[in-house]
Amino acid sequence: MALAYIGLGSNLADPQGQISAALAKLEQLEHCLVTKVSSLYFSRPMGPQDQPDYMNAVVAIKTSLTPLDLLDQLQSIENNAGRVRKDNRWGARVLDLDILLYDQQLINTERLTIPHYGIKLREFVLLPLAEIANELTLPDGDSVKILAEQIEKNGLKVHSKLR
Ligand code: ROI
């Protein structure tokens, strides 16, 4: 079994409801066990500011799915939530599920970049990740705890508990 971390984000169509429904879907996935769930965080949009604020969270899962099979499952949850893939990579979205880490693997293919390139740049990923994995070290040796302490918080707030 691999240990993977998944980032969840939404800023459209009831973000809190989207994240909690996505968590329920993750908990029902075969070959996956959700082992840790961060709080739900309120965050300001990164990228264009003319879009609604976001809700974000991070979960840990134990899985026997390969990274690509896991990606397929996550994309099918996104699609079922009504996500439309648009050209605007930095625009609003109903639901975003990103594989942040998959064990200590480095993956660089057309469909997958793991670790996710945003981990170190995004307070709405680092803080929830540190909440559930304070002792975690990234494949490059950086400590999640220290990165989380150092990043600009940009208005990030714990909104509520998810579990
Ligand atoms: N900004 C926030 N706060 N949270 C996100 O999940 C998020 N996702 C994105 C972009 C558009 C980069 N901005 C975001 O994809």
Q: Judge if the beta carbon of residue 45 lies within 6 A of ligand 1.
A: yes
Q: Which CATH superfamily is domain 2-161 in?
A: 7,8-Dihydro-6-hydroxymethylpterin-pyrophosphokinase HPPK (3.30.70.560)
Can you give the pTM of this predicted structure? 0.96
From the list 74, 54, 77, the residue with the least C-alpha distance to 65 is 74
Q: Which of 53, 69, 83, 140 is catalytic?
A: 83
For this structure, is 44 an active site residue? no
Q: Which of 50, 53, 85, 98 is catalytic?
A: 98
For this structure, is 85 an active site residue? no
37: CA distance to ligand 1 center in Å? 19
Q: Where are the domains of the chain?
A: 2-161
Q: Which of 12, 54, 100 to mutate to test the pocket of ligand 1 (most atoms within 8 A of CB)?
A: 54
139: CA distance to ligand 1 center in Å? 23
| Backbone angle region of 145, left / alpha / beta, with phi > 0 → left and psi within -120 to 50 → alpha | alpha
Q: Judge if the beta carbon of residue 128 lies within 6 A of ligand 1.
A: no
Tens-digit pLDDT string for the chain (163 aa): 999 999 999 999 999 999 999 999 999 999 999 999 999 999 999 999 999 999 999 999 999 999 999 999 999 999 999 877 666 678 888 999 999 999 999 999 999 999 999 999 999 999 999 999 999 999 999 999 999 999 999 999 999 999 9
